[in-house]
Chain A
Amino acid sequence: MAASMVLFFFFISSFIYVANCVLAIVLRKREELLIKVSTFFNIIAGVAGLSYSLIVLIFNQEIYYKIPFAVVSSAIGNTSIHAMTIKISALNCFFLALIYLLSSVSAFYSSSYIRQYLSFENHFETPRVPLLTGLFSLFILSMVMVSVSNHAIIFLISWELMSLFSFFLVMTEHESPKTRSAGFTYFIMTHFGTAFLFMFLAIMFSLTSSLDFADYVNIGAGLGGGFKTALFMMLLVGFGTKAGIVPLHIWLPQAHPQAPSHVSALMSGVMVKVAMLMLLRFTFEFLGRTELICGIVTLAIGSITSILGIMYAVVESDIKKSLAYSTIENVGIIFSTFACALILDSQGEKLYAAFALTAMLYHVLAHSFFKTLLFLNAGAIIHSTHTRNMDEMGGLIKKMPQTAFYFLTGAMCMASLPPMAAFVSKWLVFQSILLTLKSPENWIKIIVPVAGASLALASALASFNAVKNMYSIFLARNRGGHKYMHEICETSFQMRVSMLIVTLLCFVFGIFSPSLLSNLKYAVGELVPEIMKAGEFFTEASAFIIPVHKDLASISPLLVFSALIIFLILLKFAVNFLYSRRGFRVYETWSCGADIDETMEYTPESYSQPLMVVFKNIYRPKTDIETVHNEDRYIVKKVTYSQAMTPFFETYLYKPLTRFVFITSDSFKRMQVGYIHVYLLYIFVTLIVLLLAVR
């Protein structure tokens, strides 16, 4: 009964997404109506999806459904392909819930946001709005399909569609060359990753001669350690490219910012997580217990990704790029936690591994929330200021007080401060690192603390970044002096409401985390079935979060955070009551007597300057100071100072790589002489060689 209801909701919501795309074609001439209708349908589909996925997550269902595909089976000619299965289970539904929830929020946001693409206000050759609404629904659907896929073909098709739809959405503003180059990089990198997934699934097929994921379950048990490690590395590269691990991250800070903001929010908040889901499923369900080295490599990659991601975010003054780099940092944290789970699992510490996985899932959730919030916010800011450069912003808190508050919440999440969801997840991450120290190998005990310290560094730098972003956008005076300043006002109702929803989620998932965490039991239990037998994992509906044992640590977000808030209010009232009659005067900022103007303010670049000096080995800044003198050489007329950071991977890895590709293809060009008899000769030689080889 319940299963059929869940499937009913699944198909309803999927059907609405497809219908939305059809609607976009039908209503392409009536854009205003299209926006309203498609937003409505997107939200309906999202709510339907959210309701079934929460039911499955909380009541632990496992539902398979076979989609018959006669055409495909006859083309490949394999009997096992007759039905393609999808699987709806607790783990999938954790991610599905995020997809549905955040896509409905983004859809509601977009109902106001995409009005800037309306045809009659612009001069586009092709109408932009129908494309945006149609592709947006398909993009959501493709992410859903990836998450539920339980069959290699379904997985690969929807994975590819997910890449393509997001690519098209990235290319929305294809007039600008920056977008085209970002899209190009994204296209190449995403296919680089997919190639590894193809390879992995091809090997799986050759081992089992089946395409159904059900046949791959626990196949790793019969494989050799080295082979299994190689398979794991394929997964790491394949899904890591999508998730944006260093050094495969270069597309992410280019592509995510170029998309319209509600799409960036989905890409950073959700699409990256879909890759994490599949990595989890493939690793734990197929490969099972991996070698220790897999965990160590992942831990190293995770730590490096988190540090480098946030380091580049700190020195970035493009608001959306900075957020995209922060996504890379969080992916690094998620990978590090995943690595802890792998290490613990390889040591046979199932309960601890389950804890690390819970931490990972909670960080996935927290990051989805606050990154969606921040990207939506960035969209609102860019919409008002018509710039992405934070150098030209400032002082917006007076014009957009509500947006400023939502951004402040997001920034606090980014810095993982209490009482936000991100703090709780960071706490869980640190606890899982401490649990990893329980593994018997001595050298792990030395490596893991260093990883812990690098996470702490990343988190402290994230705090730096949050302060820098919040300040340079909202506080002090406006530094832009641009012509739009007088037009800037609070964003539209729809945009504010969607940001408010996510803001509330950030608080709620922080303060009420213990009871919410216990709902992840079944999702984690799917990966580590042992814990379901062991029973006690998180004490249900308790006010405390306790990692495995009571003596290790405990925290009570509910009590501490409510104490914090209550104390805050009491303090406010007490001070107001006792001292309100003392004077209160508004006066200009002290500036040693000089007149103060916005050129004296710290810019985002000057704010991060100390870090640039401290970490100069990583940033490799190139400084140019150009001094122009007067005729009489003593009086300086003008000093131009410019500093640029060397993009490490682009310069030292990708540039040589592309040069190598060009050189090799140039040398192949010499074979193409253009005479048909030379080509005939090639064919003949190839034939001879093949015949000799086959003989």
Chain B
Amino acid sequence: MYFEKILISILQALILISAAPLLAGIIKKVKATFQYRQGPPVLQPYYDLSKYMKKEVVVSDIASWLFLAAPYVTLAAIVICAFLVPSVSYLYSLSKLGDMILIIYLFALARFFMALAAMDTASAFGGMASSREMMISSIAEPAMILCFISLAITYGSTNLSNIMSSTIKSGNYFFAIENIFVFFALFIIVVAETGRVPFDNPATHLELTMIHEGMILEYSGRYLAMMTMASYIKQAVLFTLMVNIFFPYGMLTQFAALPFVVSSALLIFKLIAFSVVVGIFESVLAKFRLFQVPDLIGISFVLALTGIITNVIKI
């Protein structure tokens, strides 16, 4: 059992990591389609990454060792998340090693180093972006925790594979109805955490509006590749959480080659579908003013609380 668990866990994490840039490409394609553009090819993020890796590194003369260490820590923390999240199979996963709270805090670890590195070059853009990112995440985190508390009330666990298996085991065809609020609440948080419209615009390099891009503005070459990869993987992990918590259908439950391929294909399909939804969501909305962002996260907070109340009343 241990061998199978570890093997499948590693495979599913690798699948998730390698699919991560694809999702970014798909979102870009969807947006382009909405704008009547052809847009870059779906595989463009892969090309970008390999190009970044080859390029020369330019580092600011003001930066310290922290600036050079941050990409490693960020990427490592997020890759560990990819290993902890059950993506293809909830049965064969390492989720016993760490639950959702650990994942939230690993994200926080990555963000912490990213925010510090952004400040290290003494550029005002970095400061601005870092301050805003920390502000948004400060407000998003309580809502996120509230979402997970609500899920923990429904499923009696913070362990991800327990949560994912509960829906299947209960025999319902749809996730528990009280979680519909949590679904929307978590959706808002996922959009905020991945730095997408209406919170942040990943396509812009316009100084006054960028948040995530502003933080990695000073990075180049392989360091930029690591930072970009980290944000792709984080996005993939969050999307996986969404699709697997609420639609855990077709996840692998037996140790065999063919079911594994089928489940993996299904996972990719679910992720692509979710990316299309996010792309559409992003296309129909404009970016919010920075200080309207708390209102939107407030909505998420209230939705999550409503989810908890429905849960409690039902019980």
- Seen from chain A, the residues whose Cβ lies within 8 Å of a Cβ on chain B are 395, 397-398, 401, 404, 408, 412, 415-418, 423, 426-427, 430-431, 433-434, 437, 442, 445-446, 449-450, 452-457, 459-461, 463-464, 466-468, 470-471, 474-477, 544, 551-556, 559-560, 563-564, 567-568, 571-572, 575, 579, 582-592, 596, 598, 600-602, 606-611, 613-614
Select from chain A the residue with minimum beta-carbon distance to B138. A460
Select from chain B the residue with minimum beta-carbon distance to A450. B305
Nearest CB in chain B: distance from A561 CB, A? 9
Within 8 A of A (CB), among B114-149: 115-116, 119-124, 127-128, 130-132, 134-135, 137-146, 149
Which listed residue (B54, B122, B134) contacts A467, Cβ 8 A? B134
Is the Cβ of B131 less than 8 Å from the Cβ of A582?
Answer: no
Residue B101 CB within 8 A of the other chain:
yes
A–B Cβ pairs within 8 angstroms, 30 of them: A417-B108, A417-B109, A418-B77, A430-B101, A445-B153, A449-B150, A455-B145, A456-B144, A460-B137, A460-B138, A460-B140, A461-B138, A475-B122, A476-B121, A554-B96, A555-B99, A556-B96, A564-B80, A571-B75, A571-B76, A582-B53, A582-B222, A585-B56, A586-B60, A587-B59, A590-B217, A600-B123, A610-B132, A614-B135, A614-B291
Query: Which of B28-36, B65-73, B173-181 is near enough to bind chain A?
Result: B65-73
Is the Cβ of A463 less than 8 Å from the Cβ of B123?
Answer: no
Residue B308 CB within 8 A of the other chain:
yes
Select from chain B the residue with minimum beta-carbon distance to A397. B64
Main secondary structure of the interface of A (DSSP, over half): helix
User: In the assembled complex, which residues on chain B have CB atoms less than 8 Å from the CB atom of A614?
Assistant: 135, 139, 291, 294
How many residues on chain B are close to A (CB under 8 Å)?
Answer: 86
CB-CB under 8 A for A475 and B66, given A584-B59, A600-B124, A614-B139: yes
User: In the assembled complex, which residues on chain B have CB atoms less than 8 Å from the CB atom of A463?
Assistant: 108, 111-112, 134, 137-138
Cα A475 to Cα B64 in complex, Å, equals 7
Which listed residue (A459, A560, A568, A579) contacts B98, Cβ 8 A? A560
Cα A297 to Cα B132 in complex, Å, equals 34
What would 7 more interface pairs be, CB under 8 Å, given A471-B120, A582-B57, A585-B57?
A460-B140, A476-B62, A582-B53, A601-B122, A607-B127, A609-B131, A610-B131
User: In the assembled complex, which residues on chain B have CB atoms less than 8 Å from the CB atom of A408?
Assistant: 66
User: In the assembled complex, which residues on chain B have CB atoms less than 8 Å from the CB atom of A588?
Assistant: 60-62
Select from chain B the residue with minimum beta-carbon distance to A554. B96
Is the Cβ of B217 less than 8 Å from the Cβ of A446?
Answer: no
Is the Cβ of B218 less than 8 Å from the Cβ of A554?
Answer: no
Within 8 A of A (CB), among B192-234: 207, 217-218, 221-222, 226
Select from chain B the residue with minimum beta-carbon distance to A565. B76
Select from chain A the residue with minimum beta-carbon distance to B223. A575
Residue B262 CB within 8 A of the other chain:
no
User: In the assembled complex, which residues on chain B have CB atoms less than 8 Å from the CB atom of A554?
Assistant: 96-97, 99, 159
Residue B84 CB within 8 A of the other chain:
yes
Is the Cβ of A589 less than 8 Å from the Cβ of B60?
Answer: yes
Cα A456 to Cα B313 in complex, Å, equals 24
Cα A430 to Cα B294 in complex, Å, equals 24
Nearest CB in chain A: distance from B57 CB, A? 5
Main secondary structure of the interface of B (DSSP, over half): helix
Cα A398 to Cα B127 in complex, Å, equals 19
Is the Cβ of A464 less than 8 Å from the Cβ of B134?
Answer: yes
Residue B280 CB within 8 A of the other chain:
no
CB-CB under 8 A for A446 and B308, given A471-B119, A560-B97: yes
Residue B105 CB within 8 A of the other chain:
yes
Is the Cβ of B135 less than 8 Å from the Cβ of A464?
Answer: yes
Residue B283 CB within 8 A of the other chain:
no
Cα A80 to Cα B222 in complex, Å, equals 76
Residue B309 CB within 8 A of the other chain:
yes
Cα A563 to Cα B60 in complex, Å, equals 31
Is the Cβ of A601 less than 8 Å from the Cβ of B124?
Answer: yes
CB-CB under 8 A for A470 and B116, given A554-B96, A584-B57: yes
User: In the assembled complex, which residues on chain B have CB atoms less than 8 Å from the CB atom of A585?
Assistant: 56-59
Is the Cβ of B109 less than 8 Å from the Cβ of A418?
Answer: yes
Is the Cβ of B135 less than 8 Å from the Cβ of A584?
Answer: no
User: In the assembled complex, which residues on chain A have CB atoms less than 8 Å from the CB atom of B75?
Assistant: 571
Residue B49 CB within 8 A of the other chain:
no
CB-CB under 8 A for A457 and B153, given A552-B158, A555-B102, A584-B59: no
Nearest CB in chain A: distance from B231 CB, A? 16
User: In the assembled complex, which residues on chain A have CB atoms less than 8 Å from the CB atom of B84?
Assistant: 560
CB-CB contacts of B5-34 with A at 8 A, as 1s and 0s?
A: 000000000000000000000000000000
Is the Cβ of B135 less than 8 Å from the Cβ of A586?
Answer: no
Residue B296 CB within 8 A of the other chain:
no
User: In the assembled complex, which residues on chain B have CB atoms less than 8 Å from the CB atom of A560?
Assistant: 80, 84, 97-98, 102
Cα A427 to Cα B108 in complex, Å, equals 13
Is the Cβ of B152 less than 8 Å from the Cβ of A457?
Answer: no
CB-CB under 8 A for A589 and B123, given A445-B153, A584-B56: yes
User: In the assembled complex, which residues on chain A have CB atoms less than 8 Å from the CB atom of B83?
Assistant: 563
Select from chain B the residue with minimum beta-carbon distance to A572. B72
Nearest CB in chain A: distance from B234 CB, A? 15
Is the Cβ of B301 less than 8 Å from the Cβ of A475?
Answer: no
Is the Cβ of B123 less than 8 Å from the Cβ of A456?
Answer: no
Is the Cβ of B301 less than 8 Å from the Cβ of A453?
Answer: yes
Which listed residue (B55, B79, B112) contacts A415, Cβ 8 A? B112
User: In the assembled complex, which residues on chain A have CB atoms less than 8 Å from the CB atom of B41?
Assistant: none
Is the Cβ of A452 less than 8 Å from the Cβ of B145?
Answer: yes
Cα A201 to Cα B77 in complex, Å, equals 51
Select from chain B the residue with minimum beta-carbon distance to A462. B138
Nearest CB in chain B: distance from A344 CB, A? 16
User: In the assembled complex, which residues on chain A have CB atoms less than 8 Å from the CB atom of B299?
Assistant: none
User: In the assembled complex, which residues on chain A have CB atoms less than 8 Å from the CB atom of B39?
Assistant: none
Which listed residue (A477, A567, A572) contacts B122, Cβ 8 A? A477
User: In the assembled complex, which residues on chain B have CB atoms less than 8 Å from the CB atom of A567?
Assistant: 76, 79-80
